C-alpha cells in the first residue's frame, strides 16, 4: 500500500509491504524493516517482567545482570532464576531502559511477582 506524505515541505513516497508482524517499508526507495510487535510494545508503555516459567510455581533469583537505568535490548537476559534445579534466563520483551528492579539476589519469587520493569525509550 503506497502513501504520499509531506514533512517540512518535502514530499515522500511511502510503500508499506504485506500484512505480517515483520514489514518492509520503503521511503523514497530507502528500505526499512520494521517489526510491528516492537512498535506495539512502545505504545503500550513500561513492560513488567514477571514470568518465571509456566510450569514452575516459584523460583530463586540467582543473578540480576542489569542495574536500574541500564539500556537493554529485546531478548537480552535481565533476570536469571533457578527453578526445579535448572537455571532460567528471563529476557526483556522490548528494547528500552531498566526502570526498576523489584527483587534481590537470593530472593524466592512466585509466579506473577513483578521482578523488573523495562520502559521503551
- Identify the pLDDT of residue 76: 92
- Identify the pLDDT of residue 69: 94
Q: Is 48 helix (H, G, I), strand (E, B) or coil?
A: strand
- Beta-bridged to residue 91, according to DSSP, are 77
Specify the number of domains making up the chain: 2
Give the domain range for residue 15. Answer: 2-40
The CATH number for 75's domain is: 2.40.50.100
Return d(Cα 76, Cα 81) in angstroms, integer: 14
Please tell me whether residues 9 and 59 are part of one structural domain.
Answer: no
Cell numbers describing residue 57 = 510455581
Question: In this structure, what are the phi and psi dihedrals at residue 41, rounded to the nearest 5 degrees?
Answer: -65, -40
Please tell me whether residues 96 and 62 are part of one structural domain.
Answer: yes
pLDDT tens, N- to C-terminus, the chain (121 residues):
566 766 777 776 666 666 666 666 667 767 767 766 666 655 555 656 555 445 557 889 999 999 999 999 988 999 998 888 888 888 888 888 999 999 999 999 887 788 888 888 6
Please tell me whether residues 72 and 111 are part of one structural domain.
Answer: yes
Please tell me whether residues 63 and 95 are part of one structural domain.
Answer: yes
Give 102's contacts (C-beta < 8 A, 6+ positions apart): 113, 114, 115, 116, 117
Specify whether the CB–CB gap between 41 and 94 falls below 8 A.
Answer: yes
Taken in order 107, 120, 54, 113, is the CA torsion positive or negative?
A: positive
Please tell me whether residues 107 and 63 are part of one structural domain.
Answer: yes
Amino acid at each position: 500500500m503506497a502513501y504520499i506524505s509531506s514533512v517540512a515541505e518535502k514530499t515522500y513516497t511511502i510503500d508499506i509491504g504485506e500484512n505480517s508482524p515483520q514489514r518492509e517499508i520503503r521511503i523514497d526507495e530507502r528500505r526499512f524493516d520494521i517489526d510491528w510487535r516492537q512498535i506495539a510494545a512502545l505504545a503500550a508503555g513500561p513492560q513488567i517482567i514477571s514470568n518465571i516459567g509456566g510450569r514452575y510455581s516459584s523460583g530463586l533469583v540467582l543473578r540480576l545482570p542489569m542495574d536500574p537505568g541500564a539500556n537493554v535490548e529485546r531478548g537480552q537476559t535481565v533476570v536469571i532464576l533457578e527453578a526445579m534445579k535448572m537455571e532460567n534466563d528471563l529476557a526483556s520483551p522490548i528494547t528500552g531502559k531498566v526502570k526498576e528492579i523489584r527483587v534481590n539476589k537470593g530472593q524466592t519469587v512466585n509466579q506473577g511477582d513483578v521482578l523488573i520493569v523495562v520502559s521503551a525509550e
